[in-house]
Amino acid sequence: MEEVVIQADKLTKKFGDFTAVDAITFQVRKGEIFGFLGANGAGKTTAMRMLCGLSVPTSGEAKVAGFDIYKETESIKKNIGYMSQKFSLYEDLTVVENIRFFGGIYGLTNEQIKNKTQQLIERLGLTSVQKQLVVDLPLGWKQKLSFSIAIIHQPKIVFLDEPTGGVDPLTRRQFWELIYEAAHNGITVFVTTHYMDEAEYCDRLSIMVDGRIKALDTPKNLKAEFEVESMDEVFYKLARQATRAE
């Protein structure tokens, strides 16, 4: 039995009468790429916030990286990385300055930061632009840099909230190669996306509809279960049942 890094048990979040997340139960194993899918307003963001320790659940239990999401949010934050499409990097700092800053935030020593900075810049092929402001980088590079920084402290889990919006198909795949590499190195990846082909890249995925998890399996099994050719159609079949509009 592999190590479980996220364990959610009937996790629920209510805003007044509205149940944003309705008793979701699932497990994510170490080193897994776990896709977290759902239509706009299905409750993905709310669920993710609870797991990151940013939002207190109404009821239910969950452990992230072995820590309780009610009581040990500080420990959780130390053991996870987070990247979203909206917030990534400081645009008015250079590449190197961003890496140093976040390295410092995550509590790396000066020595570690120095090594990491060098490694990262070489790995991403950013040597020629390392002194440039991030604002001048192409979006694809920013995303890769942002992801690398999110895992600079070797977290147990990295949460990616729609990480690859707005880039060309080639850049998107280069980004996914980074994800594979991280997973290969034992970092668990928890990712939301609107690209259904990306859903296929996940080891397992869950699909949320109206706050509940309606399906949870490997892409292959899901396609077999719904008797369709692509994840797109699995998603379409499920999400069409949705009754609420955010």
Partner 1 sequence: MKAVIAENISKQYNGKPAVEKVSFEVDEGEIFGLIGPDGAGKTSIFRILTTLLLPDGGSAQVHHWDVVKDWRAIRNAVGYMPGKFSLYQDLTVEENLHFFATVFNTSIQENYHLIEEIYVQLEPFKNRRAGKLSGGMKQKLALCCALIHKPKVLFLDEPTTGVDPVSRREFWEMLKKLKQQNISIVVSTPYMDEASMCDRIASIQSGSILSIDTPQYLVKNYGNQLFKVKANDRYRLLEVLKSVPSTKSYAFGEYAHISVEKGHQMEASEIRQHLHQNGLTGVEIGDAEVTIEDCFINLLH
Which residues make up the interface to partner 1 (CB under 8 A)? 38-42, 138-140, 162, 165-171, 173, 176-177, 180-181, 183-184, 194-197, 200-201, 219-220, 230-232, 235-236, 239-240, 242, 245-246
Nearest to partner 1 of 34, 176 (CB atom)? 176
Nearest to partner 1 of 40, 109 (CB atom)? 40
Q: Minimal distance in Å, beta carbon 203 to partner 1? A: 9
Q: Minimal distance in Å, beta carbon 120 to partner 1? A: 19
Phi, psi of 166 (to 5 degrees): 75, 20
Residues 6+ apart with CB under 8 A from 53: 64, 69, 73, 74, 76, 77
CB 210 within 8 A of CB 22: yes
Q: Is 131 exposed, middle or buried (0-12, 13-18, 19+ CB in 10 A)?
A: exposed
Q: Give the β-pairing of 204-209 and 188-192.
A: unpaired
Q: Minimal distance in Å, beta carbon 215 to partner 1? A: 14
Instruction: Report the C-alpha gap between 186 and 31 in whole angstroms.
Output: 4
Nearest to partner 1 of 104, 166 (CB atom)? 166
Nearest to partner 1 of 76, 83 (CB atom)? 83
Q: Minimal distance in Å, beta carbon 25 to partner 1? A: 23
Instruction: Report the C-alpha gap between 64 and 124 in whole angstroms.
Output: 29
CB 163 within 8 A of CB 194: no
Q: Minimal distance in Å, beta carbon 105 to partner 1? A: 27
Nearest to partner 1 of 38, 103 (CB atom)? 38
